[in-house]
Structure 1
Amino acid sequence: MGAACLGLGLSLAGCVEDDDGDTGGDDTFRERVIGVGYCPPELCGSNSDIGGAFSFDSRSVDANANMIFVTAITPEGDEAVIRVLRDRLELQVGDNPPLQNDEIVGSQLVFDHVEDGVATGERTIIHVDGFQLDAVETWSSPKAQYSTYTFTFRDSDEPEEDRKPLCAEYPWPDSFGLDNLDSTAGLLVQSESYDWYGRAIENVEDPFDWATLGCMGGAYAKKVLMGYDPHHPGTPGEEGKPDLQQNEVMMRMLTARYCEGENHTDPGTPLYWQNEWGWNNFDDTEVELEALWTPDGVACLNTPRLVDRAAVEADCGTLPTCDDFDAADYHMASYRVL
């Protein structure tokens, strides 16, 4: 995990509402535009090649990156039961009231490394260093607020002073207006499970007890802040309430994972998108359709946003262009900047 968590400098993306509902760009893709409307390019117009997320099962069963969650330790040094309630951690010792919000700052989450199901004796410790209540709001409808956490980590044989940020520092451009948002912070979301590269963890029968820590610059946090969170109110799959498959579509689109192979993009690559509900981030930038997306990758692909088509097909095999596909049949379309 250590090597994967270092050296990330990813840009933030999201969506905000435009009063006049003007989408700009190619408005022939959908017959109607509702919900989000215009999103400033400095917030929305980029993607991430890494999911920037770490998931674990709070029942001490499993975690990604070949780890098993072992226990939580309170700031006082007591072992605690961990609970995840939507975007919050709670720690409880015996019959005492649970520790919440700022009370868990200073606590630790301990993970055993495993190989072929057997503990190797190595451990990684994630430290909770900071908490900010309702620190960031989604750029989509319906609006939702998320608390943020700041984490560091170390191997158990390393001294405290060698702790490293779980989420790398990213200098927000002044135009983002995010001076009060710590770029090393992360979101916590219950009931989803993704690895560091943005891939859904397989064989998770019941994700309720799983939790995902998503770094602010990674694709997972972008997905959540653009309204793709299973906890939004409403009926899954209907307007404004993405279901699990639609969440997976967004993750694949953000990371340019066109098939079951690699992610084919770099941090900050310009990207525009629109879903079947009219959520989009068009402005006056000239764009063209890149791909139509499914939970398994692309149904069709025109010119990829970054790499040559030959590189994608070397990974995925031959893919059709979108000439004979109807965008209205798909939840998500992505657009490349010309």
Structure 2
Amino acid sequence: MTSTRAQPRSLFAPAAFVLAVLPACAGGYDSYGEVSSAITCDVSQCGSNAAELNSLPIGELHLFPGQNTGEVSDWGARVVGFSAPLAAPGGPAGYTMSVVRGRLRATKGSTVLMGAALVGSRISVEDASIDPPLQADLIIHDHDTQMSWTTGAYPAYPIDRYVFITLDHRPVCVDAADTSANNAWAVLLSGERYSWSDKAVIDAGPAAAGWFNIACEDNALYEMKFQGYDPEPALLSLPHTTANERQAALKMITADYCGTGYSFTETGTSLHWLNDALWSDNGAPPASSFEAKWGPTGALCLDNPRLATLAEIASECDLPPPCSEYAGAFEWQTENPM
């Protein structure tokens, strides 16, 4: 039952020449389940988890400094161009795109576009896994800010979100709870690379320079950013976490108890989490059962799995000890709302 990496798949539909970026990767990763389940607890009291790190084949992209192009990702995707909105100062041409601390910006001389000023911009992406390569555009259709899920020492702060669509108005991200919606949001995470199959950080800091992820709502990277575990926080005053701490967040969100990359959950399953520093807490449910404590290798102790059975988890790895027998350090603890 060990996890295997999904094979890179085509990003484009050749007949229509449009991006095939709907979350069709769900079956590509080993996991307990990836069909959205109803959230039975108010989000202010428990929130929910995710079965996948990122559901987009184009999720990871790269930019060379000062250029509108970059390296080819493991999925065969490469940025090959950028144009600003038609109403941009001086016209849409001549702007250079960059992702700085998880925020998209476009620069031409002394002019810098960010946030809502980028709505209407086009990011041209090429599928280099096909010969000859195919190209299509991601259009920034909308922008807003949403408050983080942090508290205490780090009061909630705004995070930039974007809606991306294709030229034929297909959404890049789809709301798992409402697949007919055309406005599912995404966030950007920069300065870190991930193994989506292992649900692990593989490069951080200088080794990941130029790389960024487009993470859809309902995916673990999206949730990790809102929990305050952003690899490159927008401001120096915001939480700064280590790669191991962020990996612990990914293991916790995806119910990767064994640390093998196997998710024993379904996207949308209710969950209450609290980090050891007490500044990332999504509220206390009225009643709950204790689930686990978490570190970068998965569950450090385990009482009541959120969805799977102990027997199912034992088929993947040796079970962690009960939490009554664990007195060591941890990054997160989780509860199952009842």
Normalised by the length of structure 2, the TM-score is 0.70
Counterparts of 1:215 and 1:12 in 2: how far apart (Å)?
A: 18
Given the alignment, which residue of 110, 115, 132 partners 1:101? 115
2:18 corresponds to 1:5: no
2:63 corresponds to 1:58: yes
Counterparts of 2:334 and 2:276 in 1: how far apart (Å)?
A: 12
RMSD, aligned CA: 3.5
Inter-CA distance 206–325: structure 2 relative to 1 (3 Å threshold) = farther
Alignment of 1:175-324 (within 5 A): 184-194=184-194, 199-200=199-200, 202-203=202-203, 206-230=207-231, 231=233, 240-258=239-257, 259-278=259-278, 279-280=280-281, 281-288=283-290, 290-314=291-315, 316-323=316-323
Indicate the percent of aligned positions where both proteins have the same amino acid. 20
> Structure 2: which amino acid aligns with 1:97?
T
Partner of 2:14: none
> Structure 2: which amino acid aligns with 1:336?
N
Inter-CA distance 55–195: structure 2 relative to 1 (3 Å threshold) = farther
Quote the offset at 1:267 in angstroms.
2.0
Given the alignment, which residue of 148, 157, 160 partners 1:147? 160
Quote the offset at 1:305 in angstroms.
1.3
Quote the offset at 1:327 in angstroms.
4.5
Partner of 1:73: 83
Conservation of the 8 A alpha-carbon contact between 2:218 and 2:268: no
Partner of 2:139: 127
Moved over 4 A (4+): 6-13, 39-43, 194-198, 232-236
Conservation of the 8 A alpha-carbon contact between 1:150 and 1:185: yes
Conservation of the 8 A alpha-carbon contact between 1:11 and 1:217: no
Give 5+ residue unaligned stretches, structure 2: 1-10, 12-19, 27-33, 65-69, 87-91
Conservation of the 8 A alpha-carbon contact between 1:12 and 1:216: no
Quote the offset at 1:66 in angstroms.
3.1
> Structure 2: which amino acid aligns with 1:61?
E
Quote the offset at 1:171 in angstroms.
6.4
Conservation of the 8 A alpha-carbon contact between 2:292 and 2:299: yes
Counterparts of 1:198 and 1:235 in 2: how far apart (Å)?
A: 31
Counterparts of 1:79 and 1:12 in 2: how far apart (Å)?
A: 46
Conservation of the 8 A alpha-carbon contact between 1:51 and 1:198: no
2:130 corresponds to 1:112: no
Quote the offset at 1:110 in angstroms.
2.2
Deviation string 1:203-243 (CA, Å, 9 cap, x unpaired) is 5653342222222332222222122223176699xxx5322
Conservation of the 8 A alpha-carbon contact between 1:265 and 1:305: yes
Counterparts of 1:327 and 1:233 in 2: how far apart (Å)?
A: 34
Inter-CA distance 196–227: structure 2 relative to 1 (3 Å threshold) = same
Quote the offset at 1:47 in angstroms.
1.1
> Structure 1: which amino acid aligns with 2:75?
A
Deviation string 1:303-338 (CA, Å, 9 cap, x unpaired) is 421122333333x32223235743551111222346
Counterparts of 2:196 and 2:261 in 1: how far apart (Å)?
A: 15
Partner of 1:34: none
Counterparts of 2:220 and 2:173 in 1: how far apart (Å)?
A: 13
Partner of 2:46: 44
For the residue of structure 2 that corresponds to 1:284, the secondary structure is coil
Partner of 2:174: 168
Counterparts of 1:48 and 1:214 in 2: how far apart (Å)?
A: 12
Quote the offset at 1:253 in angstroms.
0.6
Inter-CA distance 11–120: structure 2 relative to 1 (3 Å threshold) = farther
Counterparts of 2:234 and 2:114 in 1: how far apart (Å)?
A: 22
Counterparts of 1:40 and 1:183 in 2: how far apart (Å)?
A: 22
Counterparts of 1:86 and 1:139 in 2: how far apart (Å)?
A: 18
Counterparts of 1:233 and 1:121 in 2: how far apart (Å)?
A: 38
Given the alignment, which residue of 83, 104, 107 partners 1:92? 107
Conservation of the 8 A alpha-carbon contact between 2:76 and 2:127: yes
Counterparts of 1:168 and 1:198 in 2: how far apart (Å)?
A: 23
Counterparts of 1:51 and 1:277 in 2: how far apart (Å)?
A: 23
Give 5+ residue unaligned stretches, structure 1: 14-38, 154-159, 173-181
